[in-house]
Structure 1
Amino acid sequence: MEYLIEFEKKIKKDHIDSVLVQSNNRIIFEYYRNRKMKEKQHKIYSITKSVLSILVGIAVDKGFIKDINTSIVDYFPENKDDAKKDITIKHLLTMTSGLHSPGNNRMIPSKNWVNFVLQQEMIHPPGNEMVYSCGSSHLLSAILQSTTGISTEEFAKKHLFTSLGITNYRWNQDAQGISIGGFGLSMKTSDMLKIGSLYLNKGRWKSKQIVSTRWVEESTFPKVRIDDTSAYAYHWWNMTFGNHTDNIFCASGYEGQYIIVAPEYKLVTVFTSSIKDESSRPLGYFENDILPYIVFR
């Protein structure tokens, strides 16, 4: 326990807002910078993408989405473009659509985000190269709304959030009423932990299978190698820490928001932060402070 006391001293000096560490389904460390942080709806930024991935999996399980290898032009009849007919839902999930990514600073002011993304030029053949893009995630949210007939937020509430007991959240929309796929969610730290626990337990929550084990495994299995220590799956990151070669995967967001899942150690760690300069710092805390404590205790 002394180890965790030292860890707490470190994070108190940093811009860490909250940390939860759960081992074997039991919370072994809990930190909030102040009392407000426990109930706060934290902007989780790109962790939204990983939640969206879960929803796509549920939609596949329930037959709303027949096949992730389907061309995206099937879902946007007003934007038929032969140049984009080879882009599939799977390409959006792995960020390998080949579409130019103009950045959020150009997408957000546009009048119609979906049209804006679809009008971007092709810079690579689909599947060739990863280009990280909130636009790809937003197209996925639009496809989810098109196939289910309800908003992505409503679908999440009906098929994910209610089962997990997640009630205190906000999901912003674009001007067309499409839940923002790339960064629109805000939720409590404790609810972020539930998302991680769901995936640690291969899609099962208590006695209910929320999303299929097959999807959990497929969506977190490395698809695109980024460098020696990281890869990308279906809107989830895969991370290698030192000699730990097992599949540790995580959801990450701007300014240091993280849900880190280490199945081999039955470990889920959540960080919310307001780190402006080096948002990957929580990964360092996980590698140097949390993992050693779990492995060697």
Structure 2
Amino acid sequence: MNASFMKNFEKEVTRDKIDSCLIQHNEKLVFEYYRNKKMKERQHKIYSVTKSILSALVGIAIDQGYISHVNTPVSRYFPDSRKGLAGDEITIKHLLTMTSGLHWPGNAAMIPSKNWVKFVLSQPVEYKPGEERVYSCGSSHLISAVLQKTTGADTVTFAKKHLFTPLGITQYKWNSDSHGVAIGGFGLNMKTEDLLKIGILYMNKGKWKSKQIVSNEWVEESTAASFQMDKTFSYGYHWWLLTRDDQGSSIPKTFFALGKNGQYMFVVPSYKLTAVFTSDITDDSSRPIDYFKKYLLPYACANS
């Protein structure tokens, strides 16, 4: 990557409320920034980036036979809620793509409830499943509950055994609700370097070193556009997709995870580029996307 270009990128990042940023390109760490020494060891709140990691766990559960396929009806796991779930229409795929049709009153309504899973399942069905997309942490929490029911282990234990330990991720915290269900929508705290490992895993089609952690088929399927948001963004299975640059031109497949206050993980497989940001941006948390489009995509294109 061009040194002067990265210098301009560094100037913008260090002036912003970015806590950390790591960039790997062509299998080399080409940029490393921590706002201070504590940020390197901190287990950052990654908020909704949790959703994309949860998506990886669903893929692993399907690969290992715990879940048959994404079109499995959710009511199979919550039979007492069959009527409220509109029969067998709502599937795991609907939850992953945020198209369940269930009303979502927001985290502020779910968090005080005594049982988060029952709260989400008790919501009325507003749309035919698959037709409308409504971003919902409740859908993610149901997925975590499904993982717990199907694997016979809580989501955190399953993640530790099948994802975190194989990647050498040992320092993290995944908060749970009062019933012991790992918070699927926003519960994870991770170190920046470990977040980068998740991105690298997906850049390498689910393979870490010589071991296939997540199937290539799941990586491709889950990061494909399932729902078109607008001309610039699409949504997959708890992953976002960037389809155009600032000039409106199409770009190579680029998918990313995002969380509140500027937490991001970007992956561009054809450019062998992975970038992660942890931030404390409360005014416009989309700025890391702007940095990514303005600096990192052109860099990687010129040097790939």
* Fold similarity call, TM over 0.5: yes
Q: Which amino acid aligns with 1:235?
A: H
Question: Do the aligned residues in 2 keep the contact of 1:92 with 1:137 (CA within 8 Å)?
Answer: yes
Q: Is the 8 Å Cα contact of residues 241 and 287 (structure 1) preserved in structure 2?
A: no
**2:91 is aligned with 1:88:** yes
- The residue that corresponds to 2:54 in the other structure is 52
Secondary structure (helix, strand or coil) at the match of 2:242 reads strand
Per-residue CA deviation, residues 100-149 of structure 1 (Å, 9 max, x unaligned), is 01100000000000000000011100000100000000000000000000
Out of 217, 221, 232, the residue aligned to residue 218 of structure 1 is 221
Per-residue Cα deviation, 1:45-73 (whole angstroms, up to 9, x for no partner): 00000000000000000000012111111
| Contact 1:258–1:270 (8 Å) recurs in 2 | yes
Query: Who is 1:251 aligned against?
Result: 257
Q: Are residue 278 (structure 1) and residue 284 (structure 2) matched?
A: yes
**1:294 aligned onto 2:300:** yes
Which residue of the partner structure matches residue 162 of structure 2?
A: 159
1:171-190, aligned counterparts within 5 Å? Answer: 171-190=174-193
Q: After the TM superposition, which segments of 4 or more aligned residues of structure 1 sit over 4 Å from their partners?
A: none
SS in 1 for 2:159: helix
Give the total of aligned pairs: 297
Q: Distance in 2 between matches of 1:86 and 1:78?
A: 15
Once the two structures are overlaid, the 10-residue window that deviates more, 240-249 or 17-26, is: 240-249
Give runs of aligned pairs for residues 89-104 of structure 1, distance below 5 A. Answer: 89-104=92-107
The one-letter code matched in structure 2 to 1:44 is I
Residue 295 of structure 1: CA displacement? 2.0
Q: Give, as a single letter, the amino acid of the residue that structure 1 aligns with 2:56.
A: I
Structure 1 distance, partners of 2:129, 2:301, is 41
1:136 partnered with 2:178: no
Equivalent of residue 29 in structure 2, options 27, 30, 33: 27
For 2:237, the equivalent position in structure 1 comes to: 234
Secondary structure in structure 1 of the residue aligned to 2:7 = helix
Shift of 1:160: 0.3
SS state at 1:28 partner: strand
C-alpha distance in 2, partners of 1:192/1:198?
Answer: 10
Residue 111 in 1 paired to residue 114 in 2? Answer: yes
1:277 aligns to what SS in structure 2? Answer: coil
Aligned mates of 2:296, 2:87 — CA distance in 1: 44
Offset at residue 84 of structure 1 (A) = 4.3
TM-aligned CA deviation for residue 80 of structure 1: 2.6
How far apart, CA to CA, are the structure 2 residues paired with 1:62 and 1:204?
16
Q: For structure 2, which runs of at least 5 residues remain unmatched after alignment?
A: none
Which of 68, 71, 79 does residue 69 from structure 1 map onto?
Answer: 71
Q: Where do 5+ consecutive residues of structure 1 fail to align?
A: none
Q: Distance in 2 between matches of 1:78 and 1:145?
A: 17
SS of corresponding position for 1:199: helix
Aligned to 1:251, the other structure's residue is in SS state strand
1:125 corresponds, among 123, 128, 133, to: 128
SS in 2 for 1:4: helix
Identity, % of aligned positions: 60
CA-based RMSD of the aligned residues comes to 1.0
User: Which of 265, 268, 272 lines up with 1:266 in the alignment?
Assistant: 272
Hey, what's the Cα distance between the residues in 1 that align with 2:88 and 2:243?
35
How many angstroms apart in 2 are the aligned matches of 1:84 and 1:259? Answer: 36
- After superposition, the C-alpha distances for 1:246-291 in whole angstroms (9 at most, x for unaligned) are 2100010000100000112110010101000111100000111122
Of stretches 223-232 and 7-16 in structure 1, the one that deviates more from structure 2 is 7-16
* Residues 143-190 of structure 1: CA deviation (Å, up to 9, x unaligned): 000000000000000000000000110000001100000000000000
Tell me if structure 1 keeps the 8 A contact 2:264–2:276: yes
Q: Which residue is 1:197 aligned to?
A: 200
**Alpha-carbon distance, 1:6 to partner:** 1.7
Alignment partner, residue 44 of structure 2: 42
The one-letter code of the counterpart of 1:208 is K
Distance of 1:6 and 1:263 partners within structure 2? 24
